[in-house]
Amino acid sequence: MIEVVVVGWRLEGRNNIQLWLPAVQTRLACRDGSGGKREVRNKQFKHRFQSFSTFSCLIPFSSRLVKAAAEMANSTSDLHNKIILLSEPIRESLSTISNEQSDVSVRSLLQSLLPPTNQTDFQSLLTNFSLLCAALAASRTSTYDQLSWIPVTLSDSADSALRQLHKAFSDHRNKDLLVELMPGVLPLLKSSIKESSIDKDADGDEASGASTRVPVVYAIVAAYQFKWFVTQIDLQLLGNLCSLIIPCALTALDHWSPEVKGQGMITLIHLAKHVSCSEFSMYEDVILDACCQNIASDDGIWEHVVEMSVLLVTCTQQNNPRSSWFEKVLNEMLSHLWRQPRSKERRVAWLKHIEPLFTGMGIVLLGHFRRLFPLFFKWMHADDDETVLLARTGDDNSFCHCSKFYICFENAKASSLEQHGQNTKMIQIYQHFVTHWLAAAADFQLALVSIGLYLQLFVINFTTP
């Protein structure tokens, strides 16, 4: 009787396609007079088939492999042709634009990402074309001078091309294009940003490395590409990519350029709004330290750093109002506001985004009232309506609730002073302050006026001999 035995798998190439096929061997087996089976040779084989019909089940399996490989090859060919087709209008537009004015040509950088007609590496082709479309699409919302030459029509064309490629990729392979690209694209963008950054030496002093000779425009373009990719990913899939996104965002925050920092901040804001807080657990301290380091930033990105810091500290420390990170972030912000008290842009941006931090700190906010009240008192008398409206908070605001608790605390303090026979003038000041607050608790502006009066009387009391 002939037995067909599977002895392993072998790699074969057919029509430029490599397949794993079963390696088989035949052998002869005969039965002795007692009815038992006697193996003539190859006793070491473990898998035996008593007839060829048993082995025939492997034939459809092998056929399915061949069919799947053929379909993959066809889809790759279709996508390759799709990329070449979509790139032609972009190639023509880039070649006709002539109003770029910069020392470093961004157009040359973008043209280098266009697919050559003879390129056979599909993955490289796909990656470069996606980077090209991301840079052009991101320029639509850019305020960077060296990207201002890109017309809106070209940005829209690139955005449309990548969306068409995304749909074709999903139809052919049933996968999300951007999710598949991220493991290869994000390390490239991170490396491009880091090339022109300023590294720190072993002692912590900033020192320029040799790579700082790289034009900063490359890092800025990479930062815009990075932000665009992250904001386009399906929100349901975004959390799975945080381990790739966050390190790249931190690299952007460490860069010296405000443009690069700003795009990293926008990316982290997007993550904080749309992914679970648990996704930040591995990078919690590093992220919050980066927030504190960047609070003293350029005026152009102050609003981004305030929103990012508030969202991240409240997200990661939401169950711990006594966390030292709340205090560090708030102290850094207040110090910066005290240094520039007349800056309308800074105070408006801060008032817009600070409320979640107040809510997260709760009653712990009382420890910062000595620095907060004078700022609010000044802002209530500012010369612009926006500041006044933002500073005039209602009864439902956490700052207002904390203020009322503060007054109750002062009332108790006044009672304690009276019990211990302290200065009668001081007791009267406290009691007047509390009575004035309770009579006008609904009017936060009047309450701030009473607070200002209280602070002045307090100073007079202790400075008068």
Q: Which residue has the tokens 């305030």?
A: 306
What is the amino acid identity at position 263? Q
pLDDT given at position 388: 83
Are residues 141 and 153 in contact, defined by beta-carbon separation less than 8 angstroms? no
pLDDT given at position 106: 87
Short-list 451, 299, 454, 457, CA closest to 376: 451
pLDDT given at position 72: 53
- Helix or strand (DSSP H, E) at 199: strand 199-200
pLDDT given at position 392: 72
User: In whole angstroms, what separates CA 52 from the centre of its chain?
Assistant: 59
pLDDT given at position 125: 92
Q: Which residue has the tokens 């502006």?
A: 445
pLDDT given at position 19: 44
* Positive/negative CA dihedral, 432, 437, 440, 446: positive
pLDDT given at position 369: 78
**Token pair of 6 as six digits:** 């599977």
pLDDT given at position 334: 93
Residue 264's alpha-carbon distances to 214, 397, 444, in angstroms, are: 20, 30, 37
Are residues 393 and 400 in contact, defined by beta-carbon separation less than 8 angstroms? yes
HSE of 13, CA atoms in CB hemisphere, 13 A: 1
3-state secondary structure of 176: coil
Short-list 459, 440, 460, CA closest to 450: 440
Per-residue pLDDT of the chain (465 residues; tens, 9 = 90+): 444 444 444 445 544 444 444 454 444 444 444 444 444 444 443 444 444 444 444 444 445 544 444 455 566 888 888 999 999 999 999 888 876 666 567 888 999 999 887 777 889 999 999 999 999 999 998 888 888 889 999 999 999 999 999 999 998 888 999 999 999 999 999 999 999 887 654 444 444 444 547 889 999 999 999 999 999 999 999 999 999 999 999 999 999 999 999 999 999 999 999 999 999 999 999 999 999 999 988 888 999 999 999 999 999 998 888 899 999 999 999 999 998 878 889 999 999 999 899 888 877 887 787 788 788 878 878 888 888 888 776 444 555 555 555 555 555 555 555 555 555 555 555 555 555 544 444 444 445 445 555 554 444 444 444
pLDDT given at position 343: 87
Phi, psi of 7 (to 5 degrees): -105, 0
pLDDT given at position 127: 94
Compute the distance between CA of residue 168 and CA of residue 122 in angstroms, rounded to an integer. 15
pLDDT given at position 24: 47
pLDDT given at position 460: 44
Rg (CA), the chain: 34
pLDDT given at position 121: 84
What is the pTM (predicted TM-score) of this model?
0.73
Short-list 313, 382, 371, CA closest to 339: 371
